Amino acid sequence: MNTIHLKAPKGWINDPNGFIYYKGKYHLFYQHFPYASRWGRMHWGHAVSDDLINWKHLDIALFPTKTDDSDGCFSGSAVEDNGKMHLFYTGVHYTDIDPENVNCSLNDSFISAQLHISSNDGFEFDNFNEKKTIIPPLTNREIGDNIHTRDPKVWKGKDGNWYMILGSTVNHVGRVLFYRSSDLLNWKYMNYASCDNMGWMWECPDYFETDSRGVIIFSPMDEKKGNQSVCTLADFRESDCHMDINKNLTYLDYGLDLYAPQSTTDKNGRRIVVAWLRMPEPMKNNAIGLFSMPRVCEVRNNHIYFRPYPEISEKFTIKTDMPDMKKPFMVKAELAEHKSISIGGYIIRRENGKIITDRRAVIKGHEELLNICETPELKDGFSLEIYVDENIIEVYVNNGEYVITNAVYDLNDEISTDENTEIYVLEE
Ligand code: FRU
C-alpha cells in the first residue's frame, strides 16, 4: 500500500501508462525497469486502487516476448470494450545493442511498432499468445519516423470509431499522427498535426474533451528548452482527423519536474491526469520515480486548470501545528505580496504578482536543475493548497490555475507560516 503518491516499488519507473477505471478499480500501469534504479529495457509495472489514494502494486503486466517488443514495452494507453481491457503500447526492437549494457541501444538504434494486447479481467495478461502488432514500423518517412513514433493513446469517438494519437517526427519537427479503427485491431493512418517551434519529437500525446473543449497534452523533446510537458486547446474533427492546435501553449506544471502525463476519466466522469515526477536520485527505498496526485483537468475562460482531486483533498481533515514530516500533509495558505512560507526548507513566496518556489535547501548537490520556479503573473488571487509528501511537494495556486511540483529530499522538521496558514493531516 502506498498513500497519495504512487511510488516506485523497486528499480526505476517513468511514464504512467494504461490509466483506466475498469470494472470498479483504477488501474495504473507504468514504465518500469525492475532490476536497477536506472532506465533500461522497459516493462509495464501495474498498480490498482479503489479510491486513487491507496495503491497496491501487482506483478509486472507486460514484458518483452516478441521480436517487435524484444527490447521494451514503451508507453501506451488502455480502453475498455465489451468488458475486456485493451492495452496499446509501443514495442521497441534494438538494431544495435550497447555491449556494456544490453538494456540500452547504441545511439538510438532501434525501430518502433505499435502493439495491442487484451485481457478479460485487467489482471492477467498473456504476453506469449495475446500480443499483436497493429502498426508495423513506419516506412513512409513523410508520415512519421520508424524510430521515433510512439506512445499510442486511444479513445472512442463520437461517431463510434476508435481513434489513436501517436507522437512522431518528420524532418526534425515534432508532430502527432492520427489513426482510426472500427474494431481496435485494424488501424488506418488518417492525418497528422503539428505546430512551429515546439521541439523535434513529441512524446506521450493525449487528446480529450472536457467542459466541451478539446485539450491536447504532449511532451515535446527540445534540445534548447529541455523536454517539458505542455498543454493547449485543440479542435479535432473526426471526419478527416484534422486538428487545429492553439498556439497559446502553457506548461502542464511550472515546476518542470513532471513529464509524460496521461489522463483518463474517473468513476464520476471527471477528466483526471497523472504525471511522472522526474527525480535526480533514488528515494530511501533505493527506487526512483513517483507519480503526481491525480488532478482534475477543467477548462474555464479558455484556461486549462489542474485542480487537486477533491476526494483526496477532503481526506485532509485533521488540523495540526506539527505534522509528521514523513507522512503526507496539506497546507492551505493565502500569501500577501513579499510574504513567504517555508515547509521543511522548501520556500514558497509571493513576489511581483507571482508565486515563486525555491527548493535549493532540499535538493542539495543538484545545482544543474531548475531549483527556483515561478508561475506566470496571477490575476485571481494567491491562495495556495500545498500537498507535501516525503519526496514531492505540489503547490496548487488558485485551485489549479497553475501548479508547481518539485522533487525534494530530506525535508527538515521546521515549518514557518503565518496567521493565514492552516495545516491538515489525513483522517485515520
Ligand atoms: C517518455 C518516454 C516515452 C517512451 C518511454 C520509454 O518519458 O520516452 O516516449 O515511450 O518514455 O520509457
* Spans of all domains in the chain: 12-310, 316-426
CATH code, 12-310 = 2.115.10.20
Is the shortest distance between the CB of 43 and ligand 1 below 6 Å? Answer: no
Q: In angstroms, what is the span from residue 73 Cα to ligand 1's centroid? A: 10
Q: Give dist(CA 296, CA 211) in Å, integer.
A: 11
Q: What ligand 1 atom has the least distance to the C-alpha of 31?
A: 12
Q: What is the pLDDT of residue 243?
A: 98
Q: In angstroms, what is the span from residue 105 Cα to ligand 1's centroid? A: 14
Residue 317's contacts (CB-CB under 8 Å, 6 or more residues apart) are 424, 426, 427
What backbone phi and psi angles, to 5 degrees, belong to 416?
Answer: -115, 120
Contact between 238 and 157 under an 8 Å Cβ cutoff? The reply is yes
pTM of this prediction exceeds 0.75: yes
For the record, the C-alpha cell of 53 comes out as 489514494
For the record, the C-alpha cell of 139 comes out as 516506412
Q: Give dist(CA 31, CA 34) in Å, integer.
A: 10
Order the strands of the 188-193 sheet from edge to edge: 150-156, 162-170, 173-181, 188-193
Q: What is the pLDDT of residue 366?
A: 96
**Whether 98 is catalytic:** no
Is the shortest distance between the CB of 229 and ligand 1 below 6 Å? Answer: no
Q: Give dist(CA 25, CA 287) in Å, integer.
A: 25
Q: Give dist(CA 406, CA 361) in Å, integer.
A: 13
Q: Which CATH number fits domain 316-426: 3.40.50.300, 2.60.120.560, 2.60.120.260, 2.30.140.10?
A: 2.60.120.560
Is the shortest distance between the CB of 168 and ligand 1 below 6 Å? Answer: no
Q: In angstroms, what is the span from residue 74 Cα to ligand 1's centroid? A: 6
Amino acid identity at 215: V
Q: What is the pLDDT of residues 25-52, one digit of tens each?
A: 999 999 999 999 999 999 999 999 999 9
Q: Give dist(CA 39, CA 21) in Å, integer.
A: 28
Contact between 111 and 93 under an 8 Å Cβ cutoff? The reply is yes
Q: What ligand 1 atom has the least distance to the C-alpha of 259?
A: 7
Probe target for ligand 1 pocket from 13, 15, 288, with the most ligand atoms within 8 Å of CB = 15
Pairing mode, strands 12-22 and 25-33: antiparallel
Q: What is the pLDDT of residue 417?
A: 83
Q: What ligand 1 atom has the least distance to the C-alpha of 151?
A: 10
Q: What are the residue ranges in the chain where pLDDT is below 50? A: none
Is the shortest distance between the CB of 14 and ligand 1 below 6 Å? Answer: yes
Residue 320 buriedness (CB in 10 A; 0-12 / 13-18 / 19+)? exposed
Q: In angstroms, what is the span from residue 18 Cα to ligand 1's centroid? A: 13
Is the shortest distance between the CB of 210 and ligand 1 below 6 Å? Answer: no
Q: In angstroms, what is the span from residue 14 Cα to ligand 1's centroid? A: 7
Q: Give dist(CA 46, CA 85) in Å, integer.
A: 14
Is the shortest distance between the CB of 31 and ligand 1 below 6 Å? Answer: yes
Write the residue with the smallest CA distance to atom 9 of ligand 1: 203
Is the shortest distance between the CB of 151 and ligand 1 below 6 Å? Answer: yes
- Asked, colleague to colleague, whether 12-310 and 316-426 share their fold, the answer is no
Q: Look-up: residue for cell 505540489? A: 394
Contact between 386 and 394 under an 8 Å Cβ cutoff? The reply is yes
Q: What ligand 1 atom has the least distance to the C-alpha of 204?
A: 9
Q: What is the pLDDT of residues 289-298, one digit of tens each?
A: 999 999 999 9
Q: Give dist(CA 424, CA 428) in Å, integer.
A: 12
